[in-house]
Amino acid sequence: MTSNNLVPPLYEGIGTVVRHDGRIKWRQEPEFLRMLQGCDFESRDDDVWIVGYPKSGRQFLHNIVTAILHRADADTFKERTTRPMGSLETGLMMGPRQRIFKVNITPTPRVLICRMRYDEIPASVVARPNKIIYVLRNPKDVAAEYYIHHKTERAFTSTKGRITTPWDDYYEYFLSGDVMGGSLFDLVLDWWRHREEKHIKFVTYEEITKDLAAAVVDLSQFLGVELNEEEIAKVVSLNELPTELSGLKESNADQKGSISTWRQFFTDEQSERFDKLCNERLKDSGVKLPCT
């Protein structure tokens, strides 16, 4: 891990990436978070927040929640998901104020995605309180698909072109939390401390993909939306992607990635080290992450 204020070689030449308060962030992210906490952001009673580490399935969950809130109306679903806003921390190329403006003009009900820590969430969100859903996923799959994202996402283009960092080097950065967004384990544990708050719900990507219909019923109950059997079936249908759009063939794996993508990257030794770190970091916390 880079010990000073310099970004790791992974982000060398990318002027929009900085180290702030020990974490790798977008250059304008600190200002954006400050504005989000202030009067610039217009919080609403029916906002729903999707929180999680990048590539944990946040956009996929966003789409499911959107379908639930609009009772599987296909036209509204298409309008809200065809050009998704994405994570609030992204899109800052337009500037923090413009990003806030775009969020403020988004029609109600809004489903907002972020990777913020609990104390970075606007105080008005906690005070209302808004419904917050934290999505967990096998951290090995997250690491693998975040690596793919780094190599294919235009925002990570440096003065030398797209990122070409070998997997073995990226693995070490991810393990130490020296990647955009910081440590996955730090984020999970930060939110897990608030799991007893009634407006916060934890779900796992694996459980959702295993039984989407059951997940829709569970989420609709949490959101206070009563769906009939026909509506549940329509929500499921709207969120089922064909096989060819999953995993490595789908660049936006945050929408719906495959299970066990990590096996295409991790060596046995890397897998064992990762498992050991996972067990050490989550020991006695009660958090259970699928790591196989």
Q: What is the pLDDT of residue 84?
A: 76
15-282 carries CATH number 3.40.980.10:
no
Low-confidence ranges of the chain (pLDDT < 50): 1-3, 242-253, 255
pLDDT for 82:
84
Provide the pLDDT for residue 91: 62
**Torsion sign over Cα 48, 149, 55, 21:** negative
Interval 151-185: pLDDT, tens: 999 889 888 899 999 999 999 999 999 999 999 99
Question: Model-level pTM?
Answer: 0.92
Return the domain boundaries, the chain: 15-282
Residue 210's contacts (CB-CB under 8 Å, 6 or more residues apart) are none
- Report pLDDT for 252: 43
> By 3-state DSSP, what share of the chain in percent is helix, strand and coil, each rounded to 5?
50, 10, 40
Residue 69, by phi and psi: left (phi above 0), alpha (psi -120 to 50) or beta? Answer: alpha
pLDDT at 152: 94
Q: Cα separation of 230 and 71, whole Å? A: 10
pLDDT score recorded for residue 158: 86
CB-CB neighbours of 16 under 10 Å:
16
